[in-house]
Structure 1
């Protein structure tokens, strides 16, 4: 029997050029400033930015360390990123994140889809995390 899969979609307008917003996703020194929910901070980021390359990001907060890992599946410069996403540990599981970057007015619309989530609670938790993370991204350009 196939397990139910949950999917979330969110968008965020960033008042910056598409190339600058895209760059914030692929350069560890920039991502370190924004790439996690507000209540956490980035510890370390490792990126092998190419299709098939892996990333590993540690996030610190509440006396805990959370480690996100994944593999880049598709890269279209300044337009689209697709990568697997999971949490290091025994229940890792791999979900799929697609981020599309579109010109909109004086900035960029970031459209994020996170799919293959295992439950409604996982979907809600990830939605809360992504909304907070994208707010951090927006602050990088304000």
Structure 2
């Protein structure tokens, strides 16, 4: 089975160059990344496609461990429901503060960085699967 590499370059398709393909592992990783960065309701007909990241993005009242657990549970639910090519899914979420130097002489900006790890087994082959990413979320104003 062939898998389409994202993002799709429609200009190449219109020129007849064909679509770019990727491995099964890359396809799963791309789909998980879509789940991570999508807001609920963003995908028509799938109101629970996505994660809690964007629901919690600027909520300053949630403690870090609560934020991590809410996002982790939302990703476990979404991946289990929408990524049927994986089994035995485990998700780890860690939130940290990162000092990004905008202009080290004038000021720096503290931001939050979410480190997300997903592991499981590929149903088709039984091979272990692992995916790690990190994304910056809301500026920290606490």
Give TM-score scaled by structure 2 length.
0.35
- Structure with more contact order per residue of length (Cα contacts < 8 Å, sep ≥ 6): 1
Question: Highest CA radius of gyration, 1 or 2?
Answer: 2
Q: Which has the higher helix share?
A: 2
Q: Which has the higher strand share?
A: 1
